[in-house]
Amino acid sequence: MIDATVIWDLEDDPEGNVQHLAEHRITVEEAEEVLRDPRSRTGWSRRTGRPQVFGSTSTGKFITVIWDEVLDDPRTIYPVTAYEVPPPQGRKR
């Protein structure tokens, strides 16, 4: 679980993170749900080196959310992207 303030751009900002998630058919609510779920697994993106979290949404998706650390105290993060990924083998959504 990520205990942090999450920064979201305005919904109508075409270059913002809300629109970027929408391009991947992920809502802010789904991303926040996975970020804050204690069952979600955290790790590091192999491609970008950014922190990421994997988890299930109440809408039935298994997603990853990748973010940048903006501030340490208070902890503040900026989600860069989120998208559906296959669930781990042997685990249900």
Q: Which pTM value belongs to this model?
A: 0.90
Q: How far apart are CA 90 and CA 93, in angstroms?
A: 10
Q: Report yes or no on 69 lying in a domain.
A: yes
Determine the structural domain holding residue 51 and report its residue range: 5-84
Share the mean pLDDT of the chain. 93
Q: Residue 59 pLDDT > 70, yes or no?
A: yes
User: What was the pLDDT predicted at 62?
Assistant: 97
Question: How many separate domains does the chain show?
Answer: 1
User: Does residue 91 lie in a domain region?
Assistant: no
- Scanning the structure block, which residue is given the tokens 């949404």? 57
Nearest to 19 by CA among 84, 67, 81, 85: 81
Q: Is residue 73 part of a domain?
A: yes
